[in-house]
């Protein structure tokens, strides 16, 4: 009888020890999702959910931010106003090109610095934003000049032979940058490529710089005797307007428009 009791007690003890060993090796999960393999290991989860947003993001001009002159207060950051027509693939910004008030005797003119509502000047640029998912196959940015330069007083009068040339186009030197067109791009009524991106480049926000800012003549002013004095300011030689000597020029403002187009998946 004592032997039976002893055996029974031994079996019960063995069962308890074995069960304890099984519980000790099991992974235990808490209500918060963290799991514990044993006393020295823990496994947690991390997650992030992306939502579709077509709200325009303020674009950023390319290139370095100019340092203030000694004794000069730092200027506010440039604030170009984005395209209000949002989308996951969008042209976020396009600079107007202003060549100032110039003398008829000159033939080459360079675009002035762009300027935001806070007065800070910045390099003219074209902004693109691409927030599409895995279905994207790149994009292409093109530009064309819609009409000749026409007089605002009489649109039948034109600057014959006037051309706009883009050069030294660039993106900031960062991984995944789109490819800017090299050399000179002379605008015509046919669309010309300015930049391209493939499946691995051009994702997110990118700004195509049109040359670089440097000092140049932005205007001319006349004194009381009619003598003209050049006014210096910031211009980019990456945007040049050339007018032949043979082109007749009225004392007037001449205008044209440039159409930029962002083409999705150009090789699809």
- Residues 34/44, Cβ–Cβ less than 8 Å: yes
The pLDDT score that the predictor gives to residue 31 is 63
Mean pLDDT, residues 203-220 = 96
Mean pLDDT, residues 62-66 = 77
pLDDT above 60: residue 76 = yes
Reported as a single tens digit per residue, the pLDDT across 86-119 is 899 999 999 999 999 999 999 999 999 999 989 9
What mean pLDDT is reported for the chain?
87
Put residue 99 in one of left, alpha, beta given phi > 0 → left and psi -120 to 50 → alpha: alpha
CA distance 208 to 180: 7
Reported as a single tens digit per residue, the pLDDT across 126-184 is 999 999 998 999 999 999 999 999 999 998 899 999 999 999 999 999 999 999 999 99
Distance, C-alpha 85 to centroid of its chain: 16
The pLDDT score that the predictor gives to residue 43 is 85
What is the band of 39 on the pLDDT scale with cuts at 50, 70, 90? confident
The pLDDT score that the predictor gives to residue 30 is 64
pLDDT above 70: residue 28 = no
CA 259-216-249 angle, to 5 degrees, is 60
Q: From 139, 235, 257, select the one nearest 194 (Cα to Cα).
A: 139
The pLDDT score that the predictor gives to residue 157 is 94
Percent share of the chain, pLDDT over 70: 85
The pLDDT score that the predictor gives to residue 44 is 80
């Amino acid at each position: 009888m004592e032997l039976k009791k002893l055996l029974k007690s031994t079996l019960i003890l063995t069962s308890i020890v074995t069960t304890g060993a099984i519980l000790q090796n099991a992974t235990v999960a808490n209500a918060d999702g963290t799991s514990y393999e044993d006393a020295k290991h823990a496994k947690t989860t991390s997650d992030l959910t992306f939502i579709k947003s077509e709200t325009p993001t303020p674009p950023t001009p390319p290139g370095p931010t100019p340092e203030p002159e000694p004794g000069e207060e730092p200027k506010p950051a440039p604030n170009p106003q984005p395209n209000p027509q949002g989308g996951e693939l969008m042209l976020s910004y396009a600079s107007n090109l202003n060549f100032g008030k110039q003398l008829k005797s000159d033939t080459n003119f360079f675009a002035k610095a762009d300027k935001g509502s806070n007065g800070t000047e910045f390099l003219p640029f074209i902004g693109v934003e691409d927030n599409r998912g895995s279905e994207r196959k790149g994009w292409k940015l093109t530009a064309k000049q819609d009409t000749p330069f026409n007089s605002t007083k009489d649109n039948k009068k034109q600057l014959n032979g006037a051309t706009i040339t883009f050069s030294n186009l660039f993106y900031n030197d960062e991984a995944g940058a789109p490819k800017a067109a090299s050399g000179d791009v002379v605008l015509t009524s046919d669309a010309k490529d300015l930049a391209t991106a493939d499946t691995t480049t051009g994702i997110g926000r990118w700004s195509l710089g049109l040359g670089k800012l440097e000092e140049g003549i932005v205007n001319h002013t006349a004194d009381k005797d009619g003598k003209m004095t050049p006014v210096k300011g910031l211009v980019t030689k990456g945007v040049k307007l050339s007018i032949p000597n043979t082109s007749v020029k009225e004392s007037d403002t001449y205008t044209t428009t440039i159409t930029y187009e962002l083409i999705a998946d150009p090789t699809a």
